Structure 1
Amino acid sequence: MTYEHLDVRIEDQVAWATMNRPDRLNALNPRLVEELRDFFTGLYWRRDVRVVVLRGAGRAFCAGLDLKERSGDNADRSVGAGLTGQRRISEIVIAMRRCPQPIIACVDGAASGGGFALALASDVRIATPSLKMNAAFIRIGLSACDIGVSYFLPRMVGSSVAAEYMLTGRFMGAERAYQLGLVSRIVEPDALEAEARDFAADMLHATPLGLRLTKEALNHAIDAQGLEAAIAMEDRNQILCAQDGDFGEGVRAFLEKRKPVYATRES
């Protein structure tokens, strides 16, 4: 797919994906939805990309669904067509969790509605002081349970805090998000990219297999049926990683205090 609103640049095994509709605060129109879904779905098979950085152009991360473009759409309004359209959006966050690459979200400014969901579906969130997140759906006549928010948010902040924001649509600022553990760092906008690069560089010290299996196990551990199920996944991961050809290089690089050089695995 040729992208119109999503700029993707691959640099040293890191994919920098930028939602590029700054005049609309990177709101999700049908084209951007298709591009995000195509990009994250395709990552499952790629070996040349090991980390993803997701960000928005201009002064916002993503302001959610583009209601102006939607209101001008004269397409089929049946329940079946609506469900298909809804699934086109929700499949993005499923693909984000399924892809083996860790996703670092650089959240500057507004992250509302669908933008909030994209931030929550990422693995690490870095924010600026201007961050404003909310479950905007409930403020426009819909349920706040949308695009995975009802799954992610209570698991991250607990049911009471999740209910507070989902039942009211209130905005959450950077300091509150940091206190709740939703964001890992708060930095000024001009330091956002450097902070993401630091995270990505640390992740790239892991072997390709180790990094992928760690994300996979973290995903499953959230819903694991108890301690023994989680440990079974951990044990499996350690044995698989120890048999991988990159394991020896990882140990040598650690002992020699240098950057590891792993075998290249193209898709």
Structure 2
Amino acid sequence: MENFDVSDMAAAQDYAPKHFLWEVTDGVALLTLNRPERKNPITFQSYGEMRDLFRALVYRDDIKAVVITGAEGNFSSGGDVHDIIGPLTKMDMKQLLRFTRMTGDLVKAIRNCPQPVIAAIDGICAGAGAAISMAADMRLGTADSKTAFLFTRVGLAGCDMGACTILPRIIGVGRASELLFTGRAMGGEEAERWGWLNRLVAKDTLLADALKLARQLADGPNFGHSMTKTAINHQWSMSLEMAIEAEAQAQAICMQTQDFTRAYNAFVAKEKPKFEGN
């Protein structure tokens, strides 16, 4: 497939992907995995296209926040059995490593894009689908959601797409170990208790609630949000001393933005600040 070239379009809403749906409304993007007849599985092509898209978002000022969801009651059933798992059994080591690195590159692209990313999870969220939602900054889900890191169920290790690094940081080592060793499904109410879901929402308001949260973030200090996400990513491997110094530098940079001055002036005038991301 051809790589997504950000320079080819004047505005992000002009992007027309081949393997998922993409809508942009006033800086809030909605990415919908759209193969509902098979519970929205991931294919070789959709992996690559999503990777290229999230890499390109680093350079897009017209996207302020992103929501990822699945069509018609399911988030994603993970790697397609016929389109991915079958072909993998016939690949040599070089081809397999190329594939596993590509799937990891999607997670890295979601983590490294400066925009806050929200996963809206209903129904099945399994395998690669669980890893994609794991890469998001926040997750909203329904009581009917079932999240499962299924890799051991197909004879693989639980360490896939960053799961052994990211998942324990979300729900803790013991709980992550249980899910990664057993491959069992985590229900929606359990997922909220464990901290996987930021919030449990009604099935019929899931997308609206996710978009409302995205809108709230998009209307905030976008440069400040990008610095926050960068700090969360980088500080995983820092000592406390290094983290505090990095945050001091980040905050000093943010204090030079016009949004900081806008917020001060609005406070003095007893008005709500209108951030512009600069």
TM-score by length of 1: 0.92
Instruction: Quote the offset at 1:254 in angstroms.
Output: 4.6
**2:183 corresponding residue in structure 1:** 169
Which stretches in structure 1 are left out of the alignment for 5+ residues? none
Q: Does 1:157 align with 2:171?
A: yes
* Alpha-carbon distance between aligned partners in 2 of 1:244 and 1:95, rounded to the nearest angstrom: 26
Match of 2:264 among 241, 246, 251: 251
Choose from 173, 178, 184 the match for 2:192. 178
Residue 242 (structure 1) shift: 0.9
- 1:77 to 2:115 alignment: no
Distance, in Å, in 1 between the alignment partners of 2:98 and 2:88 is 15
How far apart, CA to CA, are the structure 2 residues paired with 1:168 and 1:75?
22
* 1:79-129 Cα shifts (integer Å, max 9, x gaps): 001110111111000111111111010011111110110111100000011
Taking the TM superposition and a 5 Å limit, the aligned residue runs for 1:8-157 are 8-70=22-84, 73=87, 77-157=91-171
Long gaps (5+) in structure 2: 5-15
Could you tell me whether the CA contact under 8 Å between 1:138 and 1:144 is conserved in 2? yes
SS in 2 for 1:246: helix
Indicate if the aligned counterparts of 1:206 and 1:250 stay in contact, CA closer than 8 A: no
The SS at the match of 2:258 is coil
Q: Distance in 2 between matches of 1:206 and 1:168?
A: 40
Q: Distance in 1 between matches of 2:187 and 2:86?
A: 32
1:220 matched to 2:234: yes
**Cα separation, 2, equivalents of 1:9 and 1:254:** 34
> For the Cα contact (< 8 Å) 1:63–1:112, is it kept in 2?
yes
Deviation (angstroms), 1:197:
2.6
Instruction: State the 1:43 CA deviation.
Output: 0.8
TM-score (norm 2): 0.89
Superposed displacement of residue 4, structure 1 = 1.8
- How many Å separate the matches in 1 of 2:87 and 2:18? 19
* Residues 195-206 of structure 1 aligned to structure 2 (within 5 Å): 195-206=209-220
- 1:124 and 1:183 in contact (8 A); partners too: yes
Question: How many Å apart are 1:72 and its aligned residue?
Answer: 5.4
1:154 CA drift (Å): 1.3
Distance in 2 of aligned mates of 1:261 and 1:162: 38
CA shift, 1:206, in A, is 2.7
Post-superposition shift, 1:205?
A: 4.0
2:10 aligned residue: none
Post-superposition CA distance 1:20-68 (Å, at most 9, x none): 1111211111121121111111111111111111111112101110011
Task: Give, in whole Å, the separation in 2 of the partners of 1:82 and 1:129.
Answer: 36
Tell me, yes or no, if the aligned pair for 2:65 and 2:215 is still in contact at 8 Å. no
Match of residue 208, structure 1, among 215, 222, 245 = 222
Q: Residues 125 and 145 of structure 2 are in contact (CA less than 8 Å); yes or no, is this contact kept in structure 1?
A: yes
How many residues of Structure 1 are paired with residues of Structure 2 in the alignment? 263
Verify the 8 A CA contact 2:171 2:194 in the aligned structure 1: yes
CA contact (8 A) 1:205 1:259 kept: no
* C-alpha distance in structure 1 between counterparts of 2:127 and 2:27, whole Å: 30
1:202 is displaced (CA, Å) by: 2.6
Residue 187 (structure 1) shift: 1.0
- Which of residues 247, 250, 257 is equivalent to 1:237? 250
CA deviation after TM superposition for structure 1 residue 182, in Å: 1.0
Q: What percentage of residue pairs aligned between the two structures are identical?
A: 35
